[in-house]
Amino acid sequence: MRLRHWLPPVVWMGVILWFASDTGSAENTGRFIGPLLRFLFPGASPGQIDAMHGLVRKAGHLTEYAILAALWLRPLARPWRAWSIAVAWALVDEAYQSTTSSRSGSALDVAIDAVGALFVALPARFGWRLTVDALATGASWTAAGGGGALLIVNVMTGVPSGVLWVTVPVAVFLIAWSARRRGRAPRP
């Protein structure tokens, strides 16, 4: 393999470590993400803005490690290797963060990073169509089962269920339709 295949993932690993420094702290990212969120959601309370800021930061973890795994696919040509390197780098990243004054290492962040890398490694391993089908099936079963359980609890406790009355039947319909399209009975 040529240097041009190895250089992008190595450079991206450096970018990740730069974000792991004080530069990527919640206080520093809040300086530009906070005003943007207040502009986009003018009616949001400070607590809601803080929660959205946290979600944006976690989405950043997913994204940066999905990119890292994708960059490693070219020189390595093996999705599990690309995923393994991304997860190993997530451990290095969090260990480094724990040495900075405004950051701390987090096992949850390593898990989020691993999932981000998995978003690229799984489709690369099994193909995009099979992966999307499996994710859609899993999401449908989760919506049907979890939503159905919530409907039961809500009815028993008198809590309004709102949109669950629509999403649960839609999920059940999608499961049945998908199974029929494949010519087999649905399975969890």
Type of residue numbered 71: L
155 Cβ contact list (under 8 Å, min separation 6): 161
pLDDT digit string, tens, across residues 29-75: 888 899 988 888 888 899 999 999 989 888 988 999 999 999 998 89
> What is the structure's pLDDT at 186?
56
Overall pTM > 0.85: no
Q: How far apart are CA 28 and CA 46, in angstroms?
A: 17
Contacts of 69-75 with C-beta under 8 Å, sequence gap 24+, read: 69/116, 69/117, 69/118, 69/119, 69/120, 69/121, 70/120, 71/8, 71/9, 71/12, 72/9, 73/120, 73/121, 73/124, 74/5, 74/8, 74/9, 75/1, 75/5, 75/6, 75/9
Q: How far apart are CA 177 and CA 171, in angstroms?
A: 10
Virtual CA dihedral for 125, 129, 130, 134, nearest 10 degrees?
120
> What is the structure's pLDDT at 183?
72
